[in-house]
A and B are shown apart, each in its own frame.
Chain A
C-alpha cells in the first residue's frame, strides 16, 4: 500500500508517514514559502505543521487529486488562504485572484523581510501586518458597471 492510497483511504496518516513523504512535505513547504519570499525557520515549521495536520485530519478532498503533490499544494494554499482571511477579514482569499492579490500585498509589504517570521502565525495579534497589507493591496480595476454600446446603423431606414 503506497502513501498515496493510504491517504486517499483516510487512514491515520501520522503512523504511516515515510521518509519520502516527510521530504515531500518539507519541499512543498519550502516551495510555497519561496513563492512568498519567506525564508524563516518558524514560518517553515508552521507550514509543515499545517500540511501534516491537513493530511492527518484528512481534510483535503483527495478523490479529484492525482498525486500527493497536488494534495499538499491544495493544503498549503488553503492554509495560507485561511490565514489571510483571518488576517484581513476578507472572505475572497480562497479564489485564485483574491489569493494572488493577497500574495502580492504580502510580497510588497515584506520586501525587507520584516514580516517573514509572522507568516502563518495565528498566535500573534497581526493588526499591524493587516494594516501593512491593506496599504499594499493592488486594485487592478474598479467594479464592473456593465452596459451595452449599441452598434450604429448605416441603414437608411434606421437613420430616418
Chain B
C-alpha cells in the first residue's frame, strides 16, 4: 500500500487577509485542492478529514468543532490534531496505510493578523511555573538563546546567517506567494532584536490556509495523473521543559528525519535527496535543520551554504521557495506550505532551479518554545 498526494490547494499568504475569516480561507483552499484533485467531491469521495490547529491561535475554545463544514466534512469522520500540518499528513498516511481509508483530506489554517497580543499567546506556551513569571518581553529571545548556543558550539558567524537571509530573499523573489521576499535586503543594516538575532533573521507572520488531498495507490489515479508519493512521515517531541532540551542542536528534527528516512528506505540522504524544504523561521534554523536532516555533517552546513550547495541550482537546493523567511510563518500551516511548494516543484507546476526533483524531504518545526519537528519524504 502506497500513499500519494492527489491534490493541493492554498489560499492567502498575505500579511493580512482582510476580507475572509479563517473558515472562509479554509473553504477557498479546499475548493482549490478539490479542483486540483480532478474535481473531487468532498461530500462523496472523501473518507476522512484531518485538521491541524491550536485553540489559542484561533482565539476559540474547542476550535475542533469549527473544523468540519468549511472543508466539506460536516457529519463525516473529522479528526483534529494540535500540531503542525505535516503531523496531519502523518495521520492521513497511517489511516490510509491501515487499509480502512482510501481518501483523506488534510487541512490547516492560520490568521495571525487576528491576534493583537501575539507575544503573550506565544509565551503562554512556556512553563507556567519556571518561565512564565519572567515576563519575557519578546518570545524571539528564546530562539536567540538557541542561536547563540548553536553558533558558539559550531563556529557559525553572523556572515553565515547573512548568507541564509540573502538566499531566502533571492529564491523567494521567484515564488509568487512569498510576500516578504525582498532581494537585496541587507541583514547587517537591520536592527538587533535579541542578539545574535537581527530583524532580518526572524520571519514575519502570514495568514494562510492549505488543504492537501491524500489517497491510496488503489484509487489515486481517479483523481490525478501525477501523484506525488508520501514514502515517509515521522515526528518527534524532545521534552516539555525547554530547560532540559538541547539548546545547540534540534534533536527532535534529527529523530523525525531518521524515522521518515527509515520508512522511505533512504540510507544516504545527502546523496539521495534532490531538494529540501525546511523550517527557516529563524535564519540559523535553516543551517541546524539541514544538519539534523543529514543533508550536511553537523557543523558543516555553514560552509556548504557559503559554497552555494543549497542555493537554487546548487548541489542540493534547500528552500527553493525562500522558506518562512520569504513566505512568512502561518502557524501550523507552515509544514503544509513547505509541502505544497515541493509538490508543485515535483509535478513541474513551478519551474524551479533544481536538477533532481524525484525525491524531496520536507521539514517543519513548531517554533519557540516547542521542541517538535515533523519530516516527510516525497517521491514522484
Are A and B associated in one complex? no
Instruction: Name A's B-contacting residues (CB within 8 A).
Output: none
